[in-house]
């Protein structure tokens, strides 16, 4: 597999490795969906995992979370396998369905975010004052103060995404993973959400991994991009992400009319 791997410079030699994936292979329903995945994310990075539909993006995310088991290779988060006790409260997971609450569920933004403050470590011991402060700070961080008492069902798509991100932040999560958060959101809301994530990374010190098939949006936001289609074909600075012709060439796709920038090599 011809790949482009670019090492992105870091500002400090002491930066912690948050995620380390080595030689990961995953099979689903008898089909190999991930092959020899190697990916490392340092503390404070904003990484966009991109690729077409069916490329394995969600499978990789589920493998990172420990929901899918690997046939080969390893995943380490903060140095431990997925679902280890030292990760409780440090990982915020925002799935595609997180913001799609059923209409019959009546819950305010504040109540939704408060759910994020509970975990196996603090369920019976966290003080109400500490819990309320975490909720208040999370809602403020995502700019939803005016809607804290609003029923989630009355929010727009972009506002719902902010609310579920606040729920993840309320746990004091350092590492936030988002699966296709831009789907179904209008353009202005998408821009606002991406700006929020960028601020969380730069000003709050969060590490972010976002999965999306929207190459243009992620290229304008993430510091680093990984292109996945069963394997990783590119991993490097967003500024150096290949154009469409280069990307097609990397994936072995040739112009059918023979007049593209890349032509079949003579045998």
pLDDT value at residue 266 = 40
Please, are residues 37 and 232 in contact by the beta-carbon 8 Å criterion?
yes
CATH class of 15-90+211-256: alpha beta
Please, are residues 196 and 162 in contact by the beta-carbon 8 Å criterion?
yes
Three-state helix/strand/coil letters over the chain: CCCEECCCCCCCCCCCEEEEEEEEEEEECCEEEEEEEEEEEECCCEEEEECCCCCCHHHHHHHHHCCCCCCEEEEEECCECCCCHHHCCCEEEECCCCCCCCCCCCCEHHHHHHHCCCCCCCCCCCCHHHHHHHHHHHHHHCCCHHHCCCEHHHCCHHHHHHHHHHHHHHCCCCEEEEECCCCCCCHHHHHHHHHHHHHHHHHHCCEEEEEECCHHHHHCCCCEEEEEECEEEEEEEHHHCCCHHHHHHHCCCCCCCCCCCCCCCCC
The 10 Å CB-count burial string (b at 16+, else e) for 63-88 is: bbbeebebeebebbbbeeebeeeebe
pTM of the predicted protein model: 0.80
Q: Which residues of the chain have pLDDT under 50?
A: 1-2, 6-13, 122-125, 262-267
- Domain coordinates in residue numbering, the chain: 15-90+211-256
pLDDT value at residue 267 = 39
């Amino acid at each position: 597999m011809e790949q482009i791997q670019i090492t992105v410079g870091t500002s400090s030699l002491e930066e912690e490795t948050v995620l380390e994936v080595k030689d990961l292979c995953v099979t689903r329903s008898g089909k190999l969906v991930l092959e020899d995945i190697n990916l490392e994310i340092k503390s404070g990075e904003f990484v966009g995992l991109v690729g077409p539909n069916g490329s394995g993006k969600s499978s990789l995310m589920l493998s990172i979370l420990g929901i899918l088991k690997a046939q080969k290779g390893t995943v380490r988060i903060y140095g431990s396998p997925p679902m280890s006790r030292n990760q409780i409260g440090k990982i915020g997971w925002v799935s595609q369905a997180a913001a799609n609450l059923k209409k019959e569920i009546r819950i305010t933004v504040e109540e939704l975010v408060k759910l994020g403050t509970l975990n196996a470590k603090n369920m019976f011991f966290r003080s109400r004052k500490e819990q309320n402060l975490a909720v208040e700070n999370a809602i403020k961080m995502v700019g939803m103060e005016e809607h804290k008492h609003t029923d989630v069902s009355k929010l727009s798509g972009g506002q719902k995404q902010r609310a579920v991100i606040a729920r993840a932040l309320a746990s004091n999560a350092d590492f936030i993973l988002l699966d296709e958060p831009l789907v179904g959101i209008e353009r202005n809301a998408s821009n606002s959400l991406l700006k929020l994530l960028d601020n969380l990374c730069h000003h709050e010190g969060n590490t972010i991994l976002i999965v999306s098939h929207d190459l243009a949006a992620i290229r304008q936001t993430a510091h680093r991009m990984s292109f996945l289609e069963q394997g990783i074909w590119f991993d490097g600075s967003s500024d150096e992400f290949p154009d469409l012709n280069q990307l097609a060439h990397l994936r072995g796709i040739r112009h059918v009319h023979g007049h593209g920038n890349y032509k079949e090599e003579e045998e």
